[in-house]
Amino acid sequence: MYQVLYRKYRPKVFSDVVGQSHITSTLSNEVETGKLSHAYLFTGSRGTGKTTCAKILAKAVNCLHPVNGNPCGECEICKGIESGAILDVVEIDAASNNGVDNIRDIRDESAFAPASCKYRVYIIDEVHMLSIGAFNALLKTLEEPPAHVKFILATTEVHKIPATILSRCQRFDFKRVDSESMVSRMQFIADEEGFTLDEEAALLIAKIADGGMRDALSVLDQCVSREKHITTETVCSVAGLTGRQHLFDLADAVKKEDAAACLSIINELHNGCFDMERLCSELINHFRNLMITKTVKNAESVLIGTQSELDLYRSQSASFTLEALLFAIDLLQNTLTEIKRGANRRVEMETAVIRLAHPSLSDDRNGILRRLADLEAKIKSGVTIKVSEPPKTQQEEPEKAVRPQETKSEIKDVPKETTVNRFEPPEQEAQPTPPEPEKPQTKEDAAESASDGSDVMLEEWPQVLSELSRINMPLKAILTGSVAYIRNDFVLIKSENPTFPNFIKTGRNARDVKEAILRTTGRSYRLGIYTPKAEAEPKEQKKTDPLDTFLEKAKGLGVNIQSE
C-alpha cells in the first residue's frame, strides 16, 4: 500500500530532523549522559518536528543499544515501539481526550511498572486542548511522577497552557524550518524516489510551506502525482497560485478610481460562485504583497509567487503610495470583520472597493492621510491642481465651505451674541413721551425679534414634543420638561437632563427633532444647545480642512495652483 512522503520519510533518529539542531543536540546529549528530565514540553508551529522528536526520544530512552544518544532502530524495543506492539509508549491526542477522567486513567496507570521497557512514556499531543480540570489533575503527577515514567507534551499554542504546567516541564521551542534545509531534504527525497525536482520549484514549495516540513512534503507529493519532472509551473498549478489576475485588475481599478470597474469585477466573480470572504482575504494579502514590494529591497525572499508575478507586484506597487496601501489594508481588514459577523457579504465587499476607489468618502484619519499623500505626489509630478470655490452673492453672506469629511453630528455651531456697547445713545428730545400700552407678541413679532439676534421662546415646543413622540419616543422622554428658544435661524434647546447633550449630538436624533419642528412650525431650523447670553463664549475659530491648509501652504511656496 502506498505511503505518503511525509510518513515514509519521517526521521528515525535525531540527526534526520531538519532545521532543529539546537534541540536535537540537547536531547541526544541528555540521553547519552543519562541526565533525563521527567517532563518535556515541545512547542512550535505545525510540521516542525515536535511529535517526531517525541517519538525518537521515547525510543532513545528505552533503546537497548543507543548510538550517540540516538535509538539504534534494530533492537526489539525500537522495532516494537515503531510498530506499536509495545504498550509502554502511549501517544494521546488531547483534542479528543481532554477530560478529567482521561488524565485520571493516566495517573492510575503510571503507578504500575512498564511491561517490557525501562520507562513508561506518555506523549500528549495538542496538550493545550485539555480542560482546566484535566490540567489540575495532571499537576501532581507531572511534578513528582514515579521514577519509571516520562511525560512529553507537544503543543502549537503554548500561551494556552497554565503557568503551573510550564514551570514543571523542560521546554523546547521548535523554529520554522529554513528554506535551504527544506530544499536539501526535498532533493534527497527526489533522488530516493526517482523523480526530478527543479531548484526553483523546490524553493517555491519551501515558500508555500512557510517553515513546515510536513506541508512541503504534502505539496511535493501532489506534484509527483501529476508528473515526474516537477517545475515551477507544476507547483503553481498544484498550489493554486495561478488565476490571480482578478486581484491585479481590482487593484488597477482602485488606482484609477474606477468604481464601476471594481463592481463589474466583483459581479463577475460572484456569478462564478467566488466567496466574498475569500476575495476580501486574498485582496488583503495582495495589498500586503504590494506593501512588502514597496518597502523591502529584496522582496523576493519574502513573497510567494513566480518571477512573472513578482514583476507584476513590482510594477503595480510603483503606482501606489505607501499611505494608500496601508489605508487599503486597514479598510479591508475591517470589512473582513464585518463579513464574518454575518452581514451581506457582497454588499460589504462592494462598499469596501467603492471607498477604496473614492478616498474622499472616508472621514477617518487614514483617509485624509491618503488624500494628502496623493496630493503631494501630484504636485511633485507637476500636475496642476484646481481649487473650486463656491460662488458669492450680494444678498447673502458666503456659507461655510463644506469640508470633504463631515462629522456625524447634525448639531451646527450656534452663532454667539455680539458684545453690547457700554455707551448710552445721545438724548434726542428733552420732552418725555408717555409710555404706550404693551401689545401681545405675535408669531411675526417673535420671528422678527429672533432675526435680530435676541432669544425668543418657541411657543410651539409642546406640540413639537408631541410630534416627536410619534417619531422617536426615547428622545421625547429625555426632552420632557425642556424648553426651546429661537435665535436667528437656530432652535436652541434647554434641558436639565444630563444625558441630553449626548443624545442630541447623534445624527439620527438631531434629524428627528428637526423633522418634528418642521412639521409643527412649517419652517426648517438648525439645532443647538441653549447657552445664556452672559455665558456665551467668544466665537470659536473656524475649523479648516487639512487639505485646504495644505493647498494654502503650497500656494505660499510658489506651486502652480489654479483656482476657478
Q: What are the domain boundaries of the chain?
A: 5-173, 179-239, 245-380, 445-535
Between 553 and 479, where is the model more confident?
A: 479
Q: Residue 425 pLDDT > 50, yes or no?
A: no
End-to-end CA distance of the chain: 80
Cα–Cα distance measured from residue 351 to residue 335, given in angstroms and rounded to the nearest whole number: 9
Task: Please say whether the beta carbons of 478 and 497 come within 8 A.
Answer: yes
For domain 5-173, give the CATH superfamily.
Answer: P-loop containing nucleotide triphosphate hydrolases (3.40.50.300)
Report the distance separating Cα 105 and Cα 93, nearest Å.
14
Query: Is residue 279's pLDDT more than 70?
Result: yes
Q: Which of 333-347, 377-391, 453-467 has the lowest mean pLDDT?
A: 377-391
Report which listed range, 119-128, 234-243, 511-520, is most confident. Answer: 119-128
Whole-angstrom distance, CA of residue 36 vs CA of residue 441: 100
Looking at residue 151, its pLDDT comes to: 94
- Tally of CB atoms within 10 A around 40: 22
Q: Considering the domain 245-380, what is its CATH architecture?
A: Up-down Bundle (1.20)
What pLDDT does residue 373 have? 65
List the grid coordinates of 271: 456569478
Per DSSP, the three-state class of 272 is coil
CA torsion angle 129 135 137 141 (round to 10): 110
Each residue's pLDDT tens digit, 27-42: 999 999 989 999 999 9
Q: Burial, 532: exposed, middle or buried (Cβ in 10 Å; 0-12, 13-18, 19+)?
A: exposed
Give the pTM: 0.58
- The fold of the 445-535 domain, in CATH, is GMP Synthetase; Chain A, domain 3 (3.30.300)
**Residue whose C-alpha cell is 516520562:** 150
Q: What is the pLDDT of residues 197-214, one digit of tens each?
A: 998 888 889 888 888 899
Per-residue pLDDT reduced to its tens digit, 475-508: 777 888 888 888 888 888 888 888 788 777 777 8
Mean pLDDT of 416-431: 41
Mean pLDDT on 86-109: 89
Mean pLDDT of 451-458: 70
Q: Number of C-alpha atoms within 13 angstroms, CB side, residue 522? A: 2
Answer yes or no: is pLDDT of 8 > 60: yes
Q: What percent of the chain has pLDDT over 70?
A: 77
Q: Which CATH class for the 179-239 domain?
A: mainly alpha
pLDDT of residue 30: 93
HSE at residue 204, side-chain half, CA atoms within 13 A, is 25
The arithmetic mean of pLDDT across residues 345-354, rounded, is 90
Residue-averaged pLDDT of the chain: 80
Q: Kindly report which listed range (68-77, 191-200, 442-451, 475-484) carries the lowest average pLDDT score.
A: 442-451
Q: Give the integer Cα–Cα distance in Å for 463 and 520.
A: 7
Residues 309 and 273: beta-carbon distance below 8 Å: no
Mean pLDDT across 47-69? 92
Give pLDDT, residue 378: 64
3-state DSSP assignment of residue 269: helix
Assess whether pLDDT exceeds 50 at residue 157.
yes
Note whether 42 and 172 are within 8 A (CB).
Answer: yes
Question: Using an 8 Å Cβ cutoff, are 483 and 461 in contact?
Answer: yes
Identify the residue with better confidence: 78 or 404: 78
CB 10 within 8 A of CB 52: yes
Q: What is the mean pLDDT of residues 323-349?
A: 87
pLDDT surpassing 70 at residue 181: yes
For residue 405, pLDDT over 80 is answered with no
The most confident of 122-126, 210-214, 382-386, 438-442, by mean pLDDT:
122-126
